[in-house]
Amino acid sequence: MTAPRFGHVDPRDLALFTDRYELTMMQGYHETDYDPLATFSVYFRSLPSDRGYAVAAGLEQVLAALESLEFDGDALAFLADQGFDNDFLAALESFSFSGEIRAVPEGTLIFPNEPILEVTAPILEAQLLETLVLNQVGYQTLVATKAARMADVVARRGDDQELVDFGSRRAHGVDAGLKAARAAYVGGFDGTSNVLAGERFGMPTYGTMAHSWVQSFETERASFEAFADSYGDDAIYLVDTYDTVAGAERAVAVADERDVRLGGVRLDSGDLIELSKAVDDIVGDAGIVVSSGVDEFFLRDFFDADGIATAFGPGTALTTSKDAPSSGVVYKLTAVERDGELEPSMKLSPGKVTYPGQKETYRVERDGSYVHDVLATREESVDGRPLLETVVEDGSLVADLPTLSEVRKRTRRQLERLPEGHRRVSDPDTYEVRISDGLEALRQRTEREIVDRERKG
């Protein structure tokens, strides 16, 4: 009998976490002795629905992956079984990343066409990274943005309520749940229910009780009494298993009888807005945690209707980015070495035209608010603050990575500088990203050269 496999991705497996066509191209590069330096840019063509911005996240995981990216004996044996030739596999034995990565710091607000990161390396190396980079950056950016939208609604309309990630069980896999918890913290959440995320990333963890605790006892009162005996002043009671209002009254009575402070109650079903008001009249100064169906749209409506809570536990909508589950982030070749020089490259596909060359994004700020960005060539000097930083050089990490708390603070600071029209939950204003004169001239020149070459060739 074959033992079942959990499907865990170990760091030594990451070299195989790629699409086969990447390896097919890599073998072709190797066999034809074609390995020019190349630059690939990672960016959004457009933002998902109702998004006025995105929050860059996932860079740390990309950098961690690079440190362990190698083809071990098991990987090479599998690729041999898949039909890759021995000479190519021998070259992969010594694979290591030797290039450069420039990136915006995590927690930076980004907009369409602006590089989240750029990879410059021999094309055989850079090609391998595409699947892994898009997987790590695309998903975490999607969740960090969703989380930031919720945190921003609380900051602008609420009363400093806590936000806790409750979504691991709804995430699309163990790795996704772990990365979603991290990305939620980047976006402004206060912690997570996932214990592994707490251990791995140093995040605060939170937990109350489930309906199964209440149901396992003969009565709701008995379940609350046992919980109070175990957790005293820290006990938070889930009061909606049978009758929410009656459950809140029992929680108050049990706390009084046990002579402990009522830590709080949690609401997880029903009309959460109206129930929060009814329960607040019962529990007084005790906390009210609201979960089930929580997202930025719910929070907006909750505050508009004067709902009452001290904390929220978003789950499914957060980890799946329910209203916009796909990021659309791309990894595109923008420059390739010819005759010893990096030459700009671009696609001319209808609807998917790319801007050529290595780039820089400049952010223009006035009176403490972001006014517009300028997408420029890397060589240009443009008014504004440049956003990209060199984090890997000659294959080695050269930047000091911030703590997760520092990244979280960056997200908040940047959101506070973004005018509110761009932060609306629905139909936000479009933030202006200007194309510099130099980049526009480069685009036109590159397009003419490509058309001329293809016509002649």
Summarised one tens digit per residue, pLDDT across range 28-65 is 999 999 999 999 999 999 999 999 999 999 999 999 99
Domain count, the chain: 2
Confidence tier at 8 by pLDDT (50, 70, 90) = low
Final residue belonging to a domain, choices 319, 339, 363:
319
8 in a structural domain: no
Which region among 183-192, 221-230, 238-247, 445-454 has the lowest average model confidence (pLDDT)?
Answer: 445-454
User: Could you tell me which residues are beta bridge partners of residue 338?
Assistant: 341
- Answer yes or no: do 250 and 338 share one domain: no
Confidence tier at 364 by pLDDT (50, 70, 90) = very high
4 in a structural domain: no
What DSSP string describes 403-424? PHHHHHHHHHHHHHHS-GGGG-
Query: pTM, whole model, 2 decimals?
Result: 0.96
Confidence tier at 11 by pLDDT (50, 70, 90) = confident
3 in a structural domain: no
What the block records as the tokens of 310 is 């001290």
Domain span holding position 409? 14-144+325-456
Res. 457: pLDDT tops 90: no
- Answer yes or no: do 311 and 344 share one domain: no
pLDDT digits (tens, 9 = 90+) for 182-204: 999 999 999 999 999 999 999 99
Res. 67: pLDDT tops 80: yes
CATH number where 361 lies = 3.20.140.10
Question: Whose CA is closest to 361, among 108, 189, 187, 30?
Answer: 108
106 in a structural domain: yes
9 in a structural domain: no
- Answer yes or no: do 228 and 134 share one domain: no
Final residue belonging to a domain, choices 302, 319, 336:
319
**All residues at 6 or more sequence positions from 410 whose CB lies less than 8 Å from its CB, including other chains:** 105, 106, 107, 108, 402
Final residue belonging to a domain, choices 271, 298, 319:
319
- Answer yes or no: do 230 and 260 share one domain: yes
- Answer yes or no: do 247 and 117 share one domain: no
Confidence tier at 351 by pLDDT (50, 70, 90) = confident
248 in a structural domain: yes
Average pLDDT, the chain: 96
- Answer yes or no: do 76 and 168 share one domain: no
- Answer yes or no: do 155 and 289 share one domain: yes
1 in a structural domain: no
- Answer yes or no: do 166 and 113 share one domain: no
- DSSP letter at 83 equals T
- Answer yes or no: do 443 and 428 share one domain: yes
Mean local confidence (pLDDT), 58-84: 96
pLDDT digits (tens, 9 = 90+) for 84-123: 999 999 999 999 999 999 999 999 999 999 999 999 999 9
- Answer yes or no: do 353 and 215 share one domain: no
State the Cα–Cα distance between residues 47 and 134, nearest whole angstrom. 15
- DSSP letter at 265 equals E
Confidence tier at 138 by pLDDT (50, 70, 90) = very high
Question: Whose CA is closest to 407, among 147, 122, 207, 65?
Answer: 147
Mean local confidence (pLDDT), 61-71: 94
Q: Which amino acid is at 231?
A: Y
- Answer yes or no: do 139 and 149 share one domain: no
- Answer yes or no: do 170 and 226 share one domain: yes
- DSSP letter at 120 equals E
